[in-house]
Amino acid sequence: MKATVVRWLVNTLALLFTAKLIKGIYVDGVIAALLAAALLGVINAFIRPLVIVLTLPVNIITLGLFTFVINGLMLQLVSAVSYGFRVDGMLAAIVGSLVLSLVSGFLSLVVVDRGR
């Protein structure tokens, strides 16, 4: 339970950092970032795998590069259903999802894995 909360907080910080770094991604505050990070986790756990399976032929043809588009779509989906979090455009979503993944991975490596 503690590790889940720590990862949620790490993803929230990564989302706030990504919003500061990428033009076109906006977060209204920490509460909005907490909610968006939680929603992104749920969407990535349940909807993203289904979308990846359904788009497998396209993903194979593009040698996996279509996964960036899928990640951007998941970020836009969170933007569409959450309050206080907005993504303007597909390019911002794709670049934002890439930055979010890198920052979240780095923070997880530093914070979560260090505690083990």
Domain extent for 9: 2-115
Which tens digit of pLDDT belongs to each residue from 47-101? 999 999 999 999 999 999 999 999 999 999 999 999 999 999 999 999 999 999 9
Say whether 62 sits in a helix, a strand or coil: coil
What pLDDT was estimated at residue 113?
65
Structural domains counted in the chain: 1
Pairing verdict, β 25-27 and 85-87:
antiparallel
Neighbours of 101 (CB within 10 A): 14
Neighbours of 79 (CB within 10 A): 20
Query: What is the pTM assigned to this prediction?
Result: 0.91
